[in-house]
A and B are shown apart, each in its own frame.
Chain A
Amino acid sequence: MKCGTGIEARQVDELFINIDPIQAGGRLTADAMKAVVAYGDGYSVCDNCRKPNRLDYISKPPIAEFHKDVAKWLNMDAVRTVPGARRGFQAVAHTYVKKGDPVLLTTLSHYTEFLAIEDAGGIAREIPANDRKLVTPDATAEKIEAVKREFGRPPVLAFIDHVDYQYGNMHDVAGIAKVAHQYDIPVVYNGAYTVGILPVDGKAFGVDFVVGSGHKSMAAPAPSGVLAATAEREKEVFRTTAITGDVTNRKFGIKEPEMMGCTLMGVTLVGMMASFPHVKERVKHFDRELANHKIVMDALLSIEGTKCLSEYPRKHTMTRIDTLGSFDTVAESHKKRGYYLQSALEERGITGVIPGATKVWKFNTYGMTTKQAEHLGRSFVEIARENGIAVKG
């Protein structure tokens, strides 16, 4: 079935259990799907835009209220919606980083943080993760001192991923922020894998900014996200325009340069808004998600030779797994080579593993029902047994 010339209707999540590591938290709620149907037209949320003509002031649909609610929910003072977490990083970097400034991030940081620094002319300096793939406050202090020696001054900004994209490990953001603040370094909390997944309290973490991804973790269409700031930082990153046209003498009211005026419109914004009540509720039940994840992990780790490369026990539902000693041992002799695992999973109604991956790969169980988690765990064990890989118990 097609929904446009050459565009197949996508039914991945209707037909399969989808374990793609980056897609799990962005699946739309029913309310978001309904909102998308009604607000598909380009400027659909702007019907009732009145002075001062800025997106976050619109009260019908309740966009202004949504902004206030999100700020309160994250325990921050101000929020703007942005077209993806990366645009949040970019706005903050552009505010604080000047050419040649050192900026702190980590060896597990997402590439978009690097690009935000590069775009602002900064120089990236990475805090190394330890052997357990964790970034610590001690390592942060050491790196800041190293930067001071190298540049004669501390970094001007720090990006810290609460849960990193590589291992899904949870890092001590509060401890790291405390160290950074001893050097007066503003801290950006990257919550791409946490905001909308588990409870996030910006003030408790002691961070200056919280960035979340709508399409990764808030059950929203892409590209969407949020940038939240403390009252102190709000004035800086959300400063209003001061420019004037020399011929027309035009001014642009309270538009914000870092936001390029209005940000999310149409389906991205209403999708995120429609999901928000459900998202607020679901973060309270992250323990259920971890329980489902454990069902799958127990099954995978019962397969001889399989290792969990992420911290264990798991604190997040996205996990990096090493199957070099299990599924990969079959790949060389199997007629489908490395594609046999993906093929066997698809036969069982499971998708989302990178085609051909049998060595090191990631998966995410977020949003699954217990029945689906059991099906997934059972499928891994069945595939192992069918291919002569030993299973414990």
Chain B
Amino acid sequence: MTFQAMYTLTDLRVLLRETAPTHEFDAAQKAQAQRLLENLERQVGSLKQEMLK
């Protein structure tokens, strides 16, 4: 789960690289960012459950 979260952040990092310097996302990039951020929230939620139980 730790890796999954870090890898999702890595995908977001690459998105920032591909859109530098303006970081203006087109529709596909916005959808990708949304999906990645939702995944990240889920992954952090699972980490909380696992590590703080």
The bracket for how many chain A residues form the interface is 10 to 19
- Residues of chain A within 8 A (CB-CB) of B21 are 15-17, 348-350, 375
- How many B residues touch A, CB cutoff 8 Å? 14
A372 at the interface (CB under 8 A from B): yes
B window 1-53: CB within 8 A of A:
3, 6-7, 10-11, 13-14, 16-22
- Report yes or no: B3 in contact with A37, Cβ–Cβ below 8 A: yes
Closest to A29 in B: B14
* 8 Å CB contact of B20 from A14, A29, A34: A14
A112 at the interface (CB under 8 A from B): no
Closest to B13 in A: A14
How many cross-chain pairs have Cβ atoms below 8 Å apart between A and B?
41
Residue of A13, A14, A17, A29 with highest tally of chain B CB at under 10 A: A14
- Report yes or no: B7 in contact with A349, Cβ–Cβ below 8 A: no
Give 22 CB contacts A-B under 8 Å: A13-B17, A13-B20, A14-B13, A14-B16, A14-B20, A15-B21, A16-B20, A16-B21, A29-B14, A30-B11, A33-B13, A33-B14, A34-B3, A34-B10, A37-B3, A37-B6, A38-B3, A349-B20, A350-B21, A369-B19, A371-B19, A372-B20
With both chains docked as a complex, state the minimum distance between the C-beta of B2 and any C-beta of chain A, in angstroms: 10
Q: Mark contacts of A348-384 with chain B using CB atoms, 8 A cut-off: 1 yes-contact digit, 0 otherwise.
A: 1110000000000000000001011001000000000
- Report yes or no: B10 in contact with A30, Cβ–Cβ below 8 A: yes
* 8 Å CB contact of B22 from A29, A38, A349: A349
- Residues of chain A within 8 A (CB-CB) of B22 are 349, 375
Extra pairs beyond A27-B17, A34-B3 (4, CB < 8 Å): A13-B20, A15-B20, A30-B13, A375-B21
- Using a CB–CB cutoff of 8 Å, the interface residues on chain B facing chain A are 3, 6-7, 10-11, 13-14, 16-22
CA distance A13 to B7 in the complex (A): 18
With both chains docked as a complex, state the minimum distance between the C-beta of A35 and any C-beta of chain B, in angstroms: 10
- Report yes or no: A33 in contact with B10, Cβ–Cβ below 8 A: yes
Closest to A379 in B: B21
Residue of B14, B19, B20, B22 with highest tally of chain A CB at under 10 A: B20
Closest to B21 in A: A349
With both chains docked as a complex, state the minimum distance between the C-beta of B39 and any C-beta of chain A, in angstroms: 14
Q: Nearest 10 CB-CB pairs, A to B? A: A349-B21, A14-B16, A30-B14, A33-B10, A13-B17, A34-B7, A34-B10, A16-B21, A30-B10, A37-B6
CA distance A348 to B10 in the complex (A): 25
Closest to B2 in A: A37
CA distance A348 to B21 in the complex (A): 8
CA distance A371 to B11 in the complex (A): 20
Residue of B6, B13, B17, B19 with highest tally of chain A CB at under 10 A: B17
With both chains docked as a complex, state the minimum distance between the C-beta of A158 and any C-beta of chain B, in angstroms: 39
- Residues of chain B within 8 A (CB-CB) of A27 are 17
Q: Mark contacts of A16-35 with chain B using CB atoms, 8 A cut-off: 1 yes-contact digit, 0 otherwise.
A: 11000000000101100110
- Residues of chain B within 8 A (CB-CB) of A350 are 21
- Residues of chain B within 8 A (CB-CB) of A34 are 3, 6-7, 10
With both chains docked as a complex, state the minimum distance between the C-beta of A242 and any C-beta of chain B, in angstroms: 44
CA distance A29 to B17 in the complex (A): 11
- Residues of chain B within 8 A (CB-CB) of A375 are 21-22
- Report yes or no: A17 in contact with B20, Cβ–Cβ below 8 A: yes
CA distance A27 to B18 in the complex (A): 12
With both chains docked as a complex, state the minimum distance between the C-beta of B3 and any C-beta of chain A, in angstroms: 7
- Residues of chain A within 8 A (CB-CB) of B16 are 14
- Residues of chain A within 8 A (CB-CB) of B10 are 30, 33-34, 37
